[in-house]
């Protein structure tokens, strides 16, 4: 790698040493402010915690307008069950294998730490010609674009924004889906269970998971649905009563793990184990190509002789509600071939005590289709006598194929690499949709190095792609500096 790329990766390593899960960006923000002060860059912050660092132009025309380089400070914090990592205090452990960078059994956080590193490197590279820059670093993107939604109206003066949160080098993203997160909840009534009964823990794990927007078309297994369906089948050989059910974590991650505690007659152990073996074999065959490490386990646990659990009817009602929630691709775009238009992700399930809560993450590039799938969630909840609540809704980013920014990007990319860049829309939500709705007339594009398996411990960053993105960014900024 050349010295400029070394600078980018040095910044990324420092960023990776600072805990920055969503809603916990205070420490990384403090470090960025310190960095700005050391480099004599003015900065400002709004009440949400978003940062804008103002970088003077270098070798640019006096009339050159500012360019906004944008990324988000937070990351999805996911790890494997055997990882001892504490996201509240531990630095990430970075590992290079060939041309790829990943972390030790955790998410890498290149989504979107690499954007911060690229922007900071551009600001401090004395050999880089560029117009005035506004580095916009937002908070809490991963839990629902919260930082962008709360972005102060006086934070930006530029009218051209380069978002660096897309994940395929050589592809320009010019539009994205909007979304809605819905919570479904209902009160349940655990009842006392009398002996002779026993308690078992049933776990689903080893799934691939992934980003609920970027990876939803890959038809990977959802741990919540696998577990609920398995429990339903096991209930046919032994009367099962649910004590608890916990699965999934982030609203925008396909659930990789889920576990349930159930009460059943002591003499049903052999039947449960035999039926579970059949379920396991069936699921492993069904997802052999997407979730090769899928595992389902049954383990007896100690339990009080007189415990509480849902009765048989309530158990079946809860499982039916989980299984009825929309998950996966609901429709493809009629405009962009092969692109998902509408989807759902049953992101989280939590049954503890007397409360069941489900989180459904819905996406669509068509507002009417988003309303349609949301209505389906509400209808299913109504049939189960459950309540629904809209936690978050965010707008789609509408495509503008005639923008000057897109024309410049295509021209610079072609001149640099002697090939044409792809122009696409993406199913995942990007902050561009929210920012564009706040700042009228903003030209936007999203770029980024190749990143695989975001939002999962398999996340990895292609290092040569970082170099290509840097070279492109350098050429584009020089073009705007003229």
Positions marked catalytic:
74, 141
Instruction: In the chain, count H helices and then E strands.
Output: 11, 23
Angle at 99 between CA 423 and CA 469, to 5 degrees: 35
Q: Please report where in the chains the tokens 């584009």 appear, as a residue.
A: 476
C-alpha 277/C-alpha 265 separation (Å) is 19
CB 402 within 8 A of CB 177: no
C-alpha 473/C-alpha 479 separation (Å) is 10
Closest CA to 207 of 137, 293, 113, 289: 293
Q: What are the distances in angstroms from CA 72 to CA 270, 359, 398?
A: 51, 23, 21
CB 427 within 8 A of CB 178: no
CB 409 within 8 A of CB 445: yes
Q: What is the DSSP string of 190-259?
A: -EEE-SSEEEEEEEEE-----BTTTSGGG----HHHHHHHHHHHHTTTS--EEEEEEE--STTB----EE
Phi, psi torsion values for 68, nearest 5 degrees: -95, 125
């Amino acid at each position: 790698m050349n010295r400029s790329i070394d600078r980018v990766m040095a910044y990324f390593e420092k960023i990776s040493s600072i805990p920055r899960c969503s809603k916990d960006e205070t420490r990384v923000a403090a470090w960025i402010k310190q960095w700005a002060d050391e480099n004599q860059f003015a900065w400002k912050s709004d009440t949400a915690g978003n940062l804008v660092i103002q970088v003077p132009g270098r070798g640019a025309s006096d009339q050159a307008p500012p360019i906004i380089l944008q990324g988000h400070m937070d990351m999805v914090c996911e790890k494997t069950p055997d990882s001892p990592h504490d996201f509240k205090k531990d630095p990430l452990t970075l590992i290079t294998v060939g041309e790829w960078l990943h972390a030790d059994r955790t998410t890498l956080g290149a989504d979107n730490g690499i954007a911060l590193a690229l922007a900071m490197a551009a600001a401090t590279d004395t050999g880089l010609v560029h117009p005035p820059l506004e580095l916009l670093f937002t908070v809490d993107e991963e839990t629902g674009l919260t930082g962008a939604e709360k972005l102060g109206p006086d934070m930006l003066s530029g009218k051209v924004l380069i978002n660096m949160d897309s994940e395929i080098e050589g592809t320009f993203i010019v539009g994205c889906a909007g979304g809605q997160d819905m919570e479904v909840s209902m009160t349940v009534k655990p009842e006392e269970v009398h002996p002779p009964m026993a308690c078992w823990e049933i776990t689903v794990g080893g799934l691939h998971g992934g980003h609920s927007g970027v990876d939803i078309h890959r038809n990977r297994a959802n741990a919540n649905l696998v577990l609920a369906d398995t429990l339903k089948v096991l209930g046919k050989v032994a009367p099962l009563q649910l004590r608890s059910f916990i699965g999934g974590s982030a609203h925008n991650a396909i659930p990789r793990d889920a576990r349930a505690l159930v009460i059943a007659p002591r003499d049903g152990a052999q039947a449960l184990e035999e039926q579970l073996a059949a379920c396991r074999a069936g699921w492993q065959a069904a997802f052999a190509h997407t979730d090769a490490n899928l595992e389902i386990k049954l383990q007896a646990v100690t339990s009080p002789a007189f415990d509480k659990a849902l009765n048989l009817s309530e158990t079946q009602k809860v499982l039916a509600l989980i299984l009825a929630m929309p998950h996966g691709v609901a429709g493809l775009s009629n405009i962009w071939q092969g692109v998902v238009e509408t989807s759902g992700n049953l992101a989280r399930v939590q049954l503890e005590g007397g409360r069941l809560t489900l989180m459904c993450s819905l996406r669509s590039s068509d507002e009417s289709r988003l309303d349609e799938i949301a209505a389906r969630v509400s209808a299913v909840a109504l049939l189960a006598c459950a309540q629904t609540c809209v936690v978050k809704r965010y707008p789609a980013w509408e495509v503008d194929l005639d923008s000057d920014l897109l024309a410049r990007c295509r021209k610079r990319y072609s001149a640099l690499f002697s090939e044409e860049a792809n122009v696409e829309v993406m199913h995942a939500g990007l902050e561009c949709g929210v920012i564009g709705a706040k700042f009228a007339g903003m030209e936007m594009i999203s770029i980024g190095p190749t990143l695989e398996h975001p939002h999962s411990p398999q996340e990895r960053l292609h290092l040569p792609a970082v170099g290509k993105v840097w070279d492109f960014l350098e050429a584009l900024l020089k073009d705007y500096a003229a």
